Amino acid sequence: MRKMKKHYFLVAIFAITTISSYPQNKSAYRISASFPIKSAGGYDYLTVDPNSEKLYVSHGSQVNVLNKQTGDSVGVIKTEKDVHGIALVPALNKGYISNGTLNEVLVFDLATNKVLKYVPTGKFADGIFYDDFSKKIISCNGMSKNMTVIDPNTDTVLATIQLTGWPETAVSDGKGNIYVNNAEKGEMDVIDASTFTVIHNWSNKPGTGASGLAIDRNNMRLFATCGNKMMIVMDATNGKIITSLPTGDGADGAGFDDQLKVAYSSNGDGTLTVVKEQTPDKFTVSENVVTKSGARTIAVDQKTHKIYLPSGSFQPAAKGSFRPQIIPGTFKILVIEPNLD
C-alpha cells in the first residue's frame, strides 16, 4: 500500500487519548509474541498460509517466510525490486508476489521458494489476491490505474481491467463479484469476475481515501478503512453504507475474523481498532488495542484467530519524503491474540 501517515512518533499521546474515548475494564486482546526480522528495508502486506504454518512478510525487496507459531525463519524469497503483496494458490503449490516498481508479479514454488517466472502487470503492482470464484490471481496496479488478471495454471495475463483511479486493495465474495477500493475517486468499484468488467461504482462517502478492505462473505458486508480516521461498513449487494465508525490514524489495512465476527483496522499511529459485528446491520467499536507505531497492515489467521502486524522503530522522514524511514534491525511482527476464555 502506498500511504503512511506521518508523525507516528506522537503515537503514545494519541493512543492514550483514543483509548480513553472507549471506556473498558480489561482489554480483550494481548500481544502474545514479537518476531524480529533483522534484515533492512521497508514493508507492506503480509499473508497467512491457511494450509501450513507459514507467514509470508513483505520486507524491502524480499519476502521473509516465518513459522507463524514460533517466528522462526523458514525461508527468504529475494526479488529485484520492492515487494508489496503476497497471494497463495495452495492447490497449484504456487505463490505470487507483486513487485511494485518492477511492474511484474513474481511466481514462486510454495514448497521450495524457488522463483518460477515473472508475469508483466500494469505500473506499480501493489495489492494482490487470489479470487477463488474465477480461480485467477489479480494484481492492483496503482500508477496505471488498472488490474491485471493472471491465469495461475499457465502464468499468463488473461485480461486488464481499466479503472478511473488508483486501486488499493481488492477482495472477492466468492460468488462472482470482486470489490476494489478506488482510493483516488473515493468509491468502491465492483467487477464481474466472469467478464472482468466494471459493473458498479459505489461512493465511499463519508469515508475518503479508502485503503484497507475486508469482507464478511456470509452477511455480504464490506469493511473499508479510510484516510479520514474512519471505517465504513458497506452492503456488498447494493453499495449502501450501513454505518461509519471511528478508527485510529494512518489506517492502511483491514481484516475480518469470520468466526468471531470482528473487523479490524490496523492503524499506523499504533492502535488496532476492533469493530464487533453484533448483527449484519449493527456494528460497534469495542476497543482500540495499543500496538506499535507503524503497525498499519494486517493479516488475520482464521484458524487460530491470531492477528499479525508488522512494525519497527522509525527515524523522521527524509526531506521530500512523506514516509518515515524504518531503522535497520528494528523490523518485527507483532502477534495479537484475542482472549477467548
Q: Which tens digit of pLDDT belongs to each residue from 214-240?
A: 999 999 999 999 999 999 999 999 999
Q: What pLDDT score was predicted for residue 25?
A: 62
Per-residue pLDDT band at 320 (split at 50, 70, 90):
low
On the 0-12 / 13-18 / 19+ scale of CB atoms within 10 A, 184 is middle
Using one digit for the tens of pLDDT, what is the confidence trace for 104-154?
A: 999 999 999 999 999 999 999 999 999 999 999 999 999 999 999 999 999
Average pLDDT over every residue of 94-103: 95
Instruction: Tell me what the pLDDT averaged over the chain comes to.
Output: 92
Stretch among 2-6, 108-112, 197-201 having the lowest mean pLDDT? 2-6
**pLDDT, position 328:** 87
- The helix (H) or strand (E) run that includes residue 11 is helix 11-20
The stretch 297-308 carries a mean pLDDT of: 97
Mean pLDDT of 188-207: 98
Domain 8-338 classification at class level: mainly beta
Would you say the pTM of this structure is higher than 0.85?
yes
Could you tell me the pLDDT band of residue 3, with boundaries at 50, 70 and 90?
A: very low
Alpha-carbon dihedral sign for residues 2, 7, 8, 11: negative
- Give me the pLDDT at residue 15, please: 43
What are the extents of the domains in the chain?
8-338
Task: Find out whether 289 and 337 touch, Cβ atoms under 8 Å.
Answer: no
d(CA 306, CA 71): 13
Angle made by CA atoms 124, 292, 73, in degrees to the nearest 5: 70
